[in-house]
Chains A and B, each alone.
Chain A
């Protein structure tokens, strides 16, 4: 089976004052469709940078990147954006809902950027509200929700466009343990339903939900371990 993600010799460098600072060094890895992968490592290891590159939000790197067989490194910005819009959903530590939009409107945003017709958008948002059991919250603004509820909306927003891949950066970092567990259970179910997930986390507990843990340090991939004792 063709890997969903294939990175070959990926490097990212910052230049400052004539010196080069490597954020990622010769990263090569493969992620299969339906896989749940965790990036771990100390601060500054390059985890979030790698996540941004895989999510096609960062275009300044060298090396080769294939997404579902498409050579991302050869695509222009417009094509990358198209690929990103069609296949990837994001979940952030700080939820990053838009304060001035209601829950309904926040969920609608990714669809509107994919030019999904209005009727279909409404139907998809209603489905997801129902699926995540947050119908009663649809007209509330983010500041009227608890942290857990906000992250629930954040996950729902990532899922609404049925992405092949969800990228989650410390998705439970701002939540207490019960809320965190709820979100991780949600990820597990999504993964079981076929969505690939890559998360960045410091939490061993969260990492236990994934099939594989990739350790990074100073920009290098230092180890890859399969998770035999996976939760679920």
Chain B
């Protein structure tokens, strides 16, 4: 212990004696550890964090892949959606789970003291909190007693953040009555702090019993519909029951439920499909991290960024290892003496490792500060642009543990190899030596070159990655979306949440359109029930008059209910026919406008104007919707999505309206209209919340956020890597020039000119770069293949990107060898020949 303390104090003294080395090493490591800490914090919160519930390892997610028909509501994986009767059957009859919970997210309009806000609600089964083992912070949470009678449980549990945000954390909120989606609901409790539900990135504001489904939801979710798939289900395994046993156990309960459901399926399934339906099996997957929607959507971006930032740390460590090798060469005398004094090699390695770890500790502390600062910048940007809720910019224990582990591993990584090499040289030479220390350093140069080649390889990898992501972003930004986003502002409302039925909703929207159109500065206004570039869609199979045979998996089209003026306001070109008119009302003949892709699929080679189709399939469906116009294809869901066939119908002809998004084209800066638009809605209904008020340009930017984040961060990492690589090359070359001073002097004495001396140095750098690029190019291609799903309009082997990367590496190498080469050409042969 005392020896260890000695090593530490001696290490501190050695570091303080070389402040330049220490500062460069600490800063280099801090940059690497800081960037890693920030990205790990995001990765931890999004991909790794377990649910803050009791024994999260016992939780499993239920999926039921296989045939399904009816109303299917999903957020990316429809196999996770169950009907309430199936859920109830599974919950009440199984013997392998201690509990099965159900939940569903809904939009809520919460009125309190005359102020109405939009909130995220979660419909939950009565056993939800019990299964998760979550206790209330205030009042009570739901119990199975809240699961008895549909519509009879007008109670609500507030989330802890919502309670503190809206009620100042005041416990008197209990028994307070809130108007939620136009229903009076009594607050009975508050969930505990830190609890964010069962889906990372989606933090509910309020929890409502599932028995209140009919009162809370707008899309027709029901508690008795066997073919109404909407509930997401998690379960807790009984102690001692493995996942495999649980899966077998739950499927014995599932089969009878499927047999009960089959007669209720109206679609004309053949026997094969019916058998497939009956043979459906529930599969279980680990639920410790909750539902994996965000992990599925953002996992590859975050992992890619983490790999890139880890490489930056690796490059930083390599740089410090290189510095330590240079320093070790000048300390060989010291180690020879220590050996002569009886020091074992292990003992000296321990001493050098103590110095490395002290250095790493300095880098780690500074890195954590830097990482915290980066998190404070990065987290709000991610929250605001990616819509991921519940992220924190605070250091939590796992991030600190990671930073500490990164620090220690870095210290060992960059310290061990130099320590191993420095201490392996013999001592006889030093003992015979008259004090010179330069002779033993030759052995390190080759290894240092290999380290630099490694840095070049990783830098090539990062440059290529950054190049591909930047190219993707450029492609995304510069593609034709099919609409014009300039001077357009958008906002949304959901009248049914405030008690509007469909006729009243339509009347409200009609009036709002009229009032907005009359505002000064407004050129045109249009509305659609599915917000453009929001990622939402609603589709159905269709039956088209006279259409060729369409395979079953291609007979779906997406649908948007829009207003007159929708296409002209969004700048969607009308290719033939007409836009909707005010006359296309509920009682008028049903009409639709088709997209180019829809026409190509269902009416190939025909003029679709005047043709008819209907939503749904089967013999009883009568095509009664007339196509009156054709518009250009639009990127409706995401900028990066493939074009889908779309039909647009007048919202006035819809039988059910849930929400509506307004688009207003302005003659001026559209943001100037923001206040007026909110004012118009308020004048129509002071309790109707306006949400997502933003320009269309902002909508596009938000949709491109993850691509932008990956591109910008990868470019930053590549830039940092290039800088570190340049420093690494410079360090080795500068050292080589000093070491070869005598040789250079002799060459110059024999007639070498400056150009020939420079060539010597360039050859040195050339060998390192060639080796690095030779290794880096295939690695870069490998990483690009792994991340191909993140690329858009560019393939993993894009030659232009790699050529640019090679060019940059060349420039970095030339810049790094400029000073050493110049120094070499200034060697005075007379002085050099006296050298050594």
User: Which A residues fall within an 8 A CB radius of B?
Assistant: 48-49, 51-52, 55, 57-58, 78, 81, 84-85, 90, 92-94, 96-101, 105, 109-110, 112-115, 118, 157, 161, 169
Contact = CB atoms under 8 A, between A and B. Distances in A.
A96 B333 contact: yes
A93 B333 CA distance: 13
Given A52-B427, A113-B342, 13 more contacts: A48-B431, A49-B428, A52-B431, A57-B339, A57-B431, A90-B341, A98-B337, A98-B338, A105-B10, A110-B341, A113-B338, A157-B341, A161-B342
Nearest to A96: B337
Nearest to A158: B341
B267 interface: no
B433 interface: yes
A101 B476 CA distance: 62
A100 B14 contact: yes
A81 B342 contact: yes
A57 B337 CA distance: 11
B341 A109 contact: yes
| Among B426, B427, B428, B434: residue with most chain A CB under 10 A | B428
A44 B430 CA distance: 16
B479 interface: no
Nearest to B333: A96
A27 B835 CA distance: 37
B76 interface: no
B334 A110 contact: no
A157 B433 CA distance: 19
A69 to B, nearest CB: 21
A84 B344 CA distance: 11
Nearest to A109: B341
Nearest to B347: A113
Given A81-B344, A113-B343, A93 B14 contact: no
A113 to B, nearest CB: 4
22 contacts: A48-B432, A51-B431, A52-B432, A57-B431, A58-B426, A58-B428, A81-B344, A90-B340, A90-B341, A92-B340, A94-B435, A96-B336, A96-B337, A98-B334, A100-B10, A100-B13, A101-B10, A109-B338, A110-B342, A112-B6, A113-B347, A114-B342
Contacts of A51: 431
B581 interface: no
B166 interface: no
A49 B431 CA distance: 10
B763 interface: no
Interface in B419-437: 426-428, 430-435
Contacts of A81: 342, 344
Contacts of A84: 342
Interface in B509-531: none
Nearest to B432: A48
Nearest to B337: A96
Contacts of B619: none
| Among B334, B341, B343, B432: residue with most chain A CB under 10 A | B341
B266 interface: no
Nearest to B6: A112
A78 B340 CA distance: 14
B689 to A, nearest CB: 70
A92 to B, nearest CB: 6
Contacts of B333: 96
B359 to A, nearest CB: 16
B3 interface: yes
B428 A57 contact: yes
Contact of A94 (B338, B426, B434): B434
Nearest 6 A/B pairs, CB to CB: A85-B342, A113-B342, A94-B435, A52-B428, A96-B337, A110-B341
| Among B14, B343, B344, B432: residue with most chain A CB under 10 A | B432
B17 A100 contact: yes
B172 interface: no
Contacts of A97: 337
B836 interface: no
B2 interface: yes
Contacts of B431: 48, 51-52, 57, 90, 92, 96, 169
A124 B87 CA distance: 81
Contacts of A161: 342
Contacts of A157: 341
A96 B340 contact: yes
Contact of B434 (A58, A93, A118): A93
| Among A93, A112, A161: residue with most chain B CB under 10 A | A112
A36 B384 CA distance: 84
| Among A48, A94, A115, A118: residue with most chain B CB under 10 A | A94
A38 B480 CA distance: 92
